[in-house]
Amino acid sequence: MLESLSSRLDAKAIVTDPADIDPWLHDWRGRFHGAAPAMLAPTSTAEVALIVAAAAEHRVPLVAQGGNTSMVGGATAPTDGSALILSLRRLNRIRSLDTDAGLAIAEAGVILADLDGAAQGQGWRFPLTLGARGTATIGGLVSTNAGGTQVLKFGTMRGLVAGVEAVLADGTIYDGLSALKKDNRGYDLDQLFIGAEGTLAIVTAATLRLAPAIAARGTAWVGIGSPQAALKLLRTMQAKTDAIESFEILPAESLDAAIAHLPNARSPLAGRHPWHLLIEATSATTEGESPTALLERLLGKALEDGALEDATIATSEAQSEAFWLLRDSLSAAERALGPATQHDISIPVETMPRFMIEAAAACDARFPGTHASGFGHLGDGNVHFHVRAAPGTDPARWYAEDAPVVTRFVGDLVVAAGGSISAEHGIGQMKRDEL
């Protein structure tokens, strides 16, 4: 297969040097490690089609890979070396940015932050933000139906995709990039490809919906007594405004871990609080009440009413970024504490507060010595639920023996609560058996 492709692709498109391939054989968390005799790096949709057709003819599996930021081993080759890596990083063009329609067509290898930066330069933005925004690519975001911190207002990646270009399993190119608002010509294949993780087709480009650039934003850090009180506060604020874009919740212990993990970090609040919220409001205009003034008014009233314990509002962009750095560092900070199972789950929003407390207690009781906790996106029901191994536990034994049992137990709790075992990270290798 490689010999037949070598005369039809440029020299950089077929990588066989083990040293060059090795960095792409491991997931970024260090949990999954694969093997592959070669990595293919096309530069166009036509070249992807050529590769996929050849793979189909020779019955060779392909593992599509973008920024290699999968949280579930979805971009890691199998260990037996039977598959080739199909890297889409060289498909990195923003084909168009339509400022009249608020649409962009970006290829699969375009980095999320680069797309947003290009849109910002034209008075728009791409309203999906996550910790890996400087590495994650559009193809992977589409293929996993990525979420992030702005789902509360803009929805998941599915809601931001207006069209898809993809290569089917036989090498046929599907062109669905036209952003028609109404199109009832049979099955909506675009929607099938979104979130399919490359099992139905290789996404090579997407037409994406943009939002007006932010003219002003306000960011607040809130101390609060419980997740139930947090949800009540969210509902109260949503009844007053549609400017709330993010509403993150985390327990005190997660904040402690982030502060310990980050150099020179400190708590945004002076006192100790059981739970914390990171709230952001935005506006596309500088007219009228600013987002900062809005948060001051709404949170000030909530404080008077006893609905929260304390709050502070960022007075500069640097302080706002410092708040977000604490939030974005939570997973890495908790990993630094020792081996853990990390579950990306979703729960009905109205029952999420109770689940966060009861599930943690259930895990602690079922697995003595471990410690469970959750943080996440309160407004959309997405919980990042972590169960940390007992101190001194051998990581190899934990992941081989204990973690699968813990994962099954957590999955049973999620199903019993009417939730999903995968909220925004996908299935990959990690959750294949659970699915």
- H or E stretch at 64: strand 62-65
Instruction: Strands of 77-121 (E only): list them.
Output: 84-87, 94-98, 103-107
Rg of the chain (C-alpha set): 23
The whole-angstrom separation of Cα 435 and Cα 422 is 9
Q: What are phi and psi of 224, to 5 degrees?
A: -145, 160
Domain spans in the chain, listed from the N-terminal domain onward: 2-87, 94-212, 216-330, 338-416
The whole-angstrom separation of Cα 269 and Cα 275 is 12
C-beta atoms surrounding 421 within 10 Å: 18
Residue 313 in contact with residue 218, Cβ under 8 Å?
yes
Report how far Cα 167 is from the mean position of its chain's Cα atoms: 24
Which amino acid is residue 100, in one-letter code?
D
**What does the DSSP 8-state code read for residue 111?**
B
Q: How confident is the model at residue 423 (pLDDT cuts 50, 70, 90)?
A: confident
pLDDT of residue 326: 95
pLDDT of residue 331: 84
Residue 219 in contact with residue 279, Cβ under 8 Å?
yes
Tokens of 421: 């075992």
Mean pLDDT is lowest, of 75-89, 185-199, 319-333, 420-434, for 420-434
The whole-angstrom separation of Cα 378 and Cα 178 is 34
The model's pLDDT over 267-309, given as tens digits with 9 standing for 90+, comes to 999 999 999 999 999 999 999 999 999 999 999 999 999 999 9
What topology does CATH give the domain 94-212? 3.30.465
Rounded average pLDDT over 369-387: 93
Q: Which CATH class is domain 338-416?
A: alpha beta
Q: What are phi and psi of 40, to 5 degrees?
A: -100, 135
pLDDT of residue 30: 80
pLDDT of residue 206: 98
The model's pLDDT over 310-353, given as tens digits with 9 standing for 90+, comes to 999 999 999 999 999 999 899 889 888 999 998 999 999 999 99
Candidates 3.30.43.10, 3.40.640.10, 1.10.10.10, 3.30.160.40; correct CATH number of 2-87?
3.30.43.10
pLDDT of residue 426: 86
The model's pLDDT over 391-401, given as tens digits with 9 standing for 90+, comes to 999 999 999 99
The model's pLDDT over 365-376, given as tens digits with 9 standing for 90+, comes to 999 999 999 999
User: DSSP per residue over 245-283, as a string?
Assistant: EEEEEEEHHHHHHHHHHSTT---SSSS--SEEEEEEEEE
**What's the chain's average pLDDT?**
94
C-beta atoms surrounding 18 within 10 Å: 12
The answer, yes or no, to whether residue 433 has pLDDT greater than 90, is no
Nearest to 146 by CA among 231, 203, 86, 85: 203
Rounded average pLDDT over 110-117: 97
Rounded average pLDDT over 106-117: 98
The model's pLDDT over 116-174, given as tens digits with 9 standing for 90+, comes to 999 999 999 999 988 888 999 999 999 999 988 888 899 999 999 999 999 999 999 99
Measured CA distances, 31 to 26, 72, 364, 399 (Å): 8, 9, 24, 9
**What does the DSSP 8-state code read for residue 349?**
G
pLDDT of residue 379: 87
Which residue is it, tokens 């020779």? 58
Q: What is the C-alpha end-to-end distance of the chain, expressed in Å? A: 33
- H or E stretch at 218: strand 216-224
**What does the DSSP 8-state code read for residue 420?**
B
Which residue is it, tokens 């923003």? 94
The answer, yes or no, to whether residue 425 has pLDDT greater than 90, is no
The whole-angstrom separation of Cα 258 and Cα 265 is 8
Which residue is it, tokens 């890691």? 76
What topology does CATH give the domain 216-330? Alpha-Beta Plaits (3.30.70)
Q: How confident is the model at residue 434 (pLDDT cuts 50, 70, 90)?
A: confident
b/e string for 246-276 if b means 16 or more Cβ within 10 A?
bbbbbbeebbebbeebbeebebbbeeebebb
Rounded average pLDDT over 357-385: 94
